[in-house]
Amino acid sequence: MKRAIAGQAVLVAGILLIAAALRAPFTGLPPLLGPIAEDFGLNTLATGALTTLPLLAFALISPFGALFARAFGLERTLFYALAAIALGIALRSADGVWTLYLGTAIIGMGIACGNVLLPSLVKRDFPQRIASLTGAYALTMGVAAAVGSAVVIPLAQAWGWRVSLGTFLLLPMAALAVWMTQLGVRASQANAGTTAPQQDGGKVWHSVLAWQVTLFFGLNSTIYYIVIGWLPAILVDAGMTPARAGSLHGILQLASAVPGLVIGPILGRMRDQRLAAAVVSLFSATALLGLLLAPQLALAWSILFGLGSGANIILGLSFIALRTSNAHQAATLSGMSQCLGYLLAATGPIAIGALHDFTGGWQAPLALCTALALAAMGMGILSGRNRRIGA
């Protein structure tokens, strides 16, 4: 009994360490884009590609996550994903433009597999604790991202941007050290848990409910990455100092981690998640409208948007497990939602930047984002119904 409890504790620790490695190496890069561009002489387009490239990798690799899990097992595929993230971080921190872009792309590929398969793992091993464990690993993601964003500039000022980005190598290495214990212990379970009839994947892609979950995840991801990418510029154009705008950017990311503390237990007590989806989506919509109408209250809107977007991430990940019947189906829905979701997320910041240039201000972009948040609320209400794909 004690051995079983210890094994569960190690598994949960491994899940949380994987979660920490799935966001911070990506969100820690934007604050250092200035020094990187200056060092290599990159133009605006080339610099922006460093943030768009991982999102495109997410979209391209996500549909294959379930196939990799069927071929190698969940545990082994997650191990390879962590190894890819570690390799990408090492390459990105090396001395060369080609290694910078190649490393960034490899990081995106590894994160994509981890993003797809972690909900499937939770579905398989913790079917009664989906909401609480999803909240815990979303909290871990948010805290790791916030801490990473806070330390990269001081580290870069002390030792340079390469050392600063290289410190993120600690996250996948720590996760690999713990996750190695799962490869032998759970190999047979992994193969059994991920070998499901192939028609499950087809059912997912033809399910109306799956498309509702996908649109909920995709719209929220698009809004989140638009705000992450453009909030400092929005606030500076509203009259705020760059330093203040940067601090609010960090506060938003920290606020996005808070729902992980509370939303899991709340969801566990709900018969369905329609009310939760409506409320937290309304948080995001209100914050975006607030930035449009009263940017002087940006601190309040940053916190409110962080709370809403963080809760929506947990809901989107929870829907993947709650609306499916087995681990393979969950992996397929995860790949579908993240493929299409990150395609939207990759184009969203570019489109919003073009709309800003065309209109000469942030009014139209913020109004459009508010409309997208309301559309996401509608998809969340539909996704939140107590139903399962194929049932």
Per-residue pLDDT tens digits of the chain, which is 391 residues long: 554 666 788 899 999 999 999 988 988 887 787 788 889 988 767 877 888 888 888 888 888 887 888 888 889 999 999 999 999 999 999 988 999 999 999 999 999 999 888 888 888 888 877 777 887 888 888 888 878 877 888 888 899 999 999 999 999 999 999 999 888 655 444 443 444 444 455 688 889 999 999 999 999 999 998 898 788 888 888 988 877 877 788 788 888 888 877 877 777 678 889 999 999 999 999 999 999 999 999 999 999 999 999 899 889 888 988 898 887 788 888 888 888 888 888 888 888 888 888 898 899 999 999 999 999 999 999 999 999 887 6
Task: Determine if residue 285 is left, alpha or beta; phi over 0 gives left, psi from -120 to 50 gives alpha, anything else beta.
Answer: alpha
Rg (the chain; Cα; Å): 20
Tokens 């713990």 -> residue: 178
Predicted TM-score (pTM) of the model is: 0.78
Burial of 95 (0-12, 13-18, 19+ CB in 10 A): exposed
Contacts of 65 (CB under 8 A, 6+ apart): 77, 112, 113, 115, 116, 117, 331, 334, 335, 338
